[in-house]
Amino acid sequence: MTALPQLSELTVSEKLQMMESFVWHGEILVQRENALRQGSDHFSAWDTAKANIRNASAKE
């Protein structure tokens, strides 16, 4: 696992990029939560998700 740099080591530009990515991620989480509430999305068990990923990768 790669260690993250200390905040004090980042440039202003890098800090802004990080903040923007958190905003983007928050928006995606809100969309996902809404989809779950509306019933248009669902969760899978981790073992099922891994098997689905393996199967999809094997077909490529």
Does 39 score more than 90 pLDDT? yes
d(CA 28, CA 21): 11
36 Cβ neighbours under 8 A, 6+ residues apart: 42, 43
d(CA 60, CA 52): 13
The predicted model scores a pTM of 0.50
d(CA 30, CA 37): 11
pLDDT reported for residue 1: 63
First to last CA, the chain: 27
**Over the stretch 1-34, which tens digit does the pLDDT of each residue have?**
677 788 899 999 998 888 888 888 889 999 999 9
pLDDT reported for residue 3: 79
